[in-house]
Amino acid sequence: MSLEDRLYPMLGLYERLPGGLKKAAGMAYRWLPQSWRLGKRFREFERLASACEGWSVEEIRAYQLKQVRQVLIQAAGYCPFYQGRFSRAGFRPELVKDLDDLEQCPTLEKSDLLRNLGGMVSSAVPARERLYVTTGGSTGVPVGFYLQRGVSRPKEQAFLEAQWRRGGYFKGARLAVIRGHVISDRARGRVSSVDATRDWLMLSSSHLTAERLPEYLEAIERFRPDLLHAYPSAALQLAEFLETSGQHWRTPLRGVLCGSERLTLAQKRLLERVFGCRVYRWYGHAERVVLAAEGRRSDLFYFWPAYGLVEFGPPDPEGLCEVIGTSFHNLAMPLIRYRTGDFVRLADPRTDGELEFPWAVAAEVAGREQEYLVSGTGRRISLTAFNMHDAVFDDLYAVQFFQDEPGCAEFRYVPGPQFDRTRLPAIEARIRRKLGDDFRVVLREVSETEKTARGKHRWLVSRLGGGGGGNA
């Protein structure tokens, strides 16, 4: 198990340390060898990410078949849920000789995770090697699952760094980060702090008002980062301020890393013009089933073949296909043919140009939109920041924010049968911490939340008009 995994439960304690002690502890941790911090398997995944970029189609299929068979055998042997599911479907994992044979395996829904979590966990992986994580994804349906300690986190870091290098990243790079970090829950609170464990400048994504943005620019210019790592909505707000105020970006950057929200190609070009560098996009999710990122030269999203197996559902009337994935390496809780609820428009070499890799590739990801709540003082809070990865929303079938006036947020929730309502004050406190002191928060229990035309849950229903529900 990596040192990072061992220390993860103590993260809250570290965040509460006095400034000087926190900085000293963070610097000491940063100077430890990366193999200590991320574990011995980090190097393995680093080599894997590098090697697979040069694989042939035959090598890709051979590797993927090997991983699929390993996952199927683990699930069939040690996960009661899959044992029952395979038996009822007449699916025999031992007979899978080709990737096409996986089509006989039933798909997995998010509702399966909600109702059968315990039965999906492998009895072959001890509890001490499992890490419980939750996500609302792009749907507002809280889902809990387990990652494997010493495996999932180093793997994710290795593949992220490998793809970020296409966008200008290098080891030891100094990043300015605007990705939902809570610096202060006060409307007039601080907008920045330095994370000494990585030497990154952490900037609030909820104080991006015209009045406060000069503070952001000053902090960034003083820090002199190599890259900007931001939610697309935050980067667009910064660019909008620069353009409307007649200013220019003055800090040279190697690149801008934009993930977790949808960024259209037109918006990407706008950001590249404002920041004077490449803006690099990727697609992933907390379940860590599949991962896709732009190439070195193109704007297409290439799915890493050694990260997980990706399949696509049939196209809908808009030509979008659902992403279906099978996880590799995480044996604590395999996810097999998991319907992510995310949709992509597949690339066509005839119209999208020559492909850089012989991998599954998408031209567009129709994922989480740039949605935000508006405070009483005009601050915009990205809903992506509410994708909490702990148990705060456990036993709620769905959550959703509703807003029809600035400064007032209604949190709607659909309780499951095991939900304990004495937890509501703690949930409200976490929401208030994220929103700040210029919000009035109301909790309301509902039987169901509003959905999109496709029947998908929504994080936010906004009646502000030209504001919260759309692009920044």
Question: Is the pLDDT assigned to residue 372 strictly greater than 80?
Answer: no
167 within some domain:
no
Across the range 315-325, mean pLDDT stands at 91
329 within some domain:
no
Angle formed at CA 386 by CA 383 and CA 392, multiple of 5 degrees: 155
Rounded-to-integer distance, Cα 302 and Cα 292, Å = 5
383 within some domain:
yes
Q: What is the largest CA-CA distance in the chain?
A: 66
324 within some domain:
no
Across the range 415-442, mean pLDDT stands at 88
Question: Is the pLDDT assigned to residue 401 strictly greater than 80?
Answer: yes
Q: How far is C-alpha 62 from the chain's CA centre?
A: 28
408 within some domain:
yes
3-class DSSP state of 448: coil
Rounded-to-integer distance, Cα 200 and Cα 225, Å = 8
Residues 6+ apart with CB under 8 A from 209: 377, 378, 379, 380
398 within some domain:
yes
Residues 6+ apart with CB under 8 A from 360: 292, 302, 303, 305, 310, 312
Query: pLDDT grade, residue 455 (50/70/90)?
Result: low
13 within some domain:
yes
At 216-230, the pLDDT tens digits run 999 999 999 999 999
At 167-178, the pLDDT tens digits run 999 999 999 999
- Position 204: which residue type? S
User: How many domains does the chain fold into?
Assistant: 2
Rounded-to-integer distance, Cα 331 and Cα 333, Å = 5
User: Comparing 294 with 23, which gets the higher pLDDT?
Assistant: 294
0.85 exceeded by pTM: no
Domain that includes residue 413, residue range: 373-462
Q: Tell me, what's the pLDDT at 469? A: 45
Q: Average pLDDT over the chain, rounded to whole?
A: 88
User: Comparing 255 with 211, which gets the higher pLDDT?
Assistant: 255
3-class DSSP state of 336: coil
455 within some domain:
yes
What is the CATH number for 401? Answer: 3.30.300.30
